[in-house]
Structure 1
Amino acid sequence: MSAPVLETENLVKVYGRGESRFDALKGLTFEIHQGESVAIVGKSGSGKSTLMHLLALLDAPTAGVVALEGQPVNKLKPKQVSKLRNETFGFVFQQFFLNPNQTVLENVTLPLKIAGVGTAERNRRGMAALEQLEMADKAKNKATNLSGGQKQRVCIARALINNPSVLFADEPTGNLDTNTGEIVEDILFGLHRDHGITLVVVTHDEDLAAKCQRRLIMQDGLIVREETGSSLPAEASHQEDAQ
């Protein structure tokens, strides 16, 4: 098995104090390996989104350790954490988080602008990402004029702009109709399959979770069970049986 890209040890997250105290995560220890597809599954309030925010270095734990490629992140300075996050992770969110008044290309290249990449190189890489998602013809459109499926494709292009090794997808099909959602799922799992990107999906959608190689089932701030094995297309299953 490949080396862990993300590890946690006794990960705890607490909000508030006294009577208002809420234990969102209650001591989680697990690994996510390079090239895996992992679903973090649970109902609202189970702690799955909190866990994703800690894994993605968007928030800090109350106690415990998050390690990226064997390096504990809590030993790094805030600027180092921001740089590491920008270079290593891509994010796809249910709410899109696009600037409606900017063009599609400007939205896609924002991570490169933050990283200090020059305009010409930003635009070159941005167009390459949009072409990969079949959205190059929308590059000059304002983000506000796109359909939900197009917005999510732009989000995925933005997530890929820094060639991340880990892609986080938080309810990536939550705001999409069934057909559009399936297209977005195919794109995400295609990236995982064809480019070896580690895919971490946060969802309460059991059908989406079933497509991942491993599922971490959460309840009340704990991982209550783990499931392995992905749902392969029938053709792929038959091919494996024949080998």
Structure 2
Amino acid sequence: MAAPVLETENLVKIYGRGETRFDALKGINLEIGKGESVAVVGKSGSGKSTLMHLLALLDGPTHGVVALEGRPTGDLSAKELNELRNSAFGFVFQQFFLTPNQSVLENVTLPLKIAGVPAAERKRRGLEVLEQLEMADKADNKATDLSGGQKQRVVIARALINDPSVIFADEPTGNLDSATSNVVEDILFGLNRDKGITLVVVTHDEDLARRCSRQVYLVDGQIVPSLEKAPGDAAPREEDRHPWAQQPSDATGPVRVAGPATGEVITLSQADAAAIARAAQEPARPGRHAAPAPSTPDQPGATA
């Protein structure tokens, strides 16, 4: 893999405390190389959006480290984080987040305005990126006058305006029909291929995930090697709840696992199951940023 542009070490995110406590991420270790296209895949509640928010510096972890270009970001001030996020990242969201009464050009150039770029330069760069996405003729239109596909092109133009190193796309085709979705996907993967922009896609769409060079699967806030739903299983059986302890050492078939939070049953190969079992018995890796392993609720220093 190429040199990592983004890294996490022992990344934990906890919401609430006591009876309302929810552990959204449970010690995530991840590296994303420059120029990669990575799909973060999981069902609702798996932690995929939480992970994206932490990687994109939109939120801070409870424990652990997020590093950009090898630089841990935990000690940066709010101003430094805002500037770094505005210059390094572009965002493409399912909900578009366009200002309806502003023109297409004003929406696209908003990151430049935040960065203090003069108006003439904002207009030049805005029209240039709109031309790339075949939307220059809509520059003076209001965002409310656009179709869903046109709005997503405007969002992609806005994501590109600061020449980002990483684009985060959160369910980027969720509000689009299949034909328009294919066009938007082609644009995003073309940018990844032709400009070397790292693409991080958060999705539950398996077809979209397969277009990425790598998939990261999340179940209950933890990375697993692969997922495959066990057919015909609506609920876990008691013998499925602790497969690491109950599976015979000489077993050859797939291992069936019930997620502790959702109860959804998945199947893993013997090799993947053994790898997860070993990882569960080992302390979190120290990593080059020396992020401490997260405390559990039963350990001193645990944070809720």
TM-score, normalised via structure 1 length: 0.92
Question: Cα distance, 1:77 vs. partner?
Answer: 1.1
The aligned residue for residue 143 of structure 1 is 143
Question: What letter corresponds to residue 132 of structure 2 in structure 1?
Answer: Q
Give the deviation of 1:75 after TM superposition.
1.5
Name the residue aligned to 2:38. Answer: 38
Question: What CA distance in whole angstroms lies between the structure 2 residues aligned with 1:78 and 1:63?
Answer: 18
Q: Distance in 2 between matches of 1:156 and 1:87?
A: 15
Counterparts of 1:228-243 in structure 2, within 5 Å, are none
Aligned length in residues: 227
Matching residue of 1:11 = 11
Structure with the greater alpha carbon radius of gyration: 2
Letter paired with 1:95? Q
Instruction: Specify the SS of the correspondent of 2:95.
Output: coil
Q: Deviations over 1:8-54 (max 9, x none)?
A: 00000000010000000000001000000000000011000000000
Match of 2:173 in 1: 173
Give the 5 Å matches for 1:1-243. Answer: 1-225=1-225
CA distance in 1, matches of 2:50, 2:159: 20
**For the residues of structure 2 that align with 1:32 and 1:11, how far apart are their CA atoms?**
14
- Give, in whole Å, the separation in 2 of the partners of 1:194 and 1:51: 26
**Structure 1 residue identity aligned to 2:141:** N
Q: What is the distance in 1 between the residues matched to 2:142 and 2:83? A: 28
Q: List, as ranges, runs of 4+ consecutive aligned residues in structure 1 with deviation greater than 3 Å.
A: none
Name the CA distance, whole Å, in 1 between partners of 2:26 and 2:2: 27
SS at match of 2:23: strand
Tell me the amino acid that sits aligned with residue 217 of structure 2.
I
- Residue by residue over 1:218-243, the C-alpha shift from the partner in whole angstroms, topping out at 9 and shown as x without a partner, is 1100111169xxxxxxxxxxxxxxxx
More helix by share: 1
Specify the SS of the correspondent of 1:50. Answer: helix
The aligned amino acid for 1:154 is V
Classify the secondary structure of the residue corresponding to 1:5.
Answer: strand
Secondary structure, counterpart of 1:75 in structure 2: coil
Distance 2:121 2:226 in 1: 43
Match of 1:239 in 2: none
Give 3-state SS (helix, strand or coil) of 1:12's partner.
Answer: strand
Measured against aligned partners, the alpha-carbon deviations of 1:96-136 in whole angstroms (never above 9, x if no partner) come to 00000000000000000000000000010000010000000
| Matched position secondary structure for 1:14 | strand
Cα offset for 1:167?
0.4
Report percent identity of matched pairs.
76
Tell me the TM-score normalised to structure 2 length.
0.74
3-state DSSP class of the match of 2:173?
coil
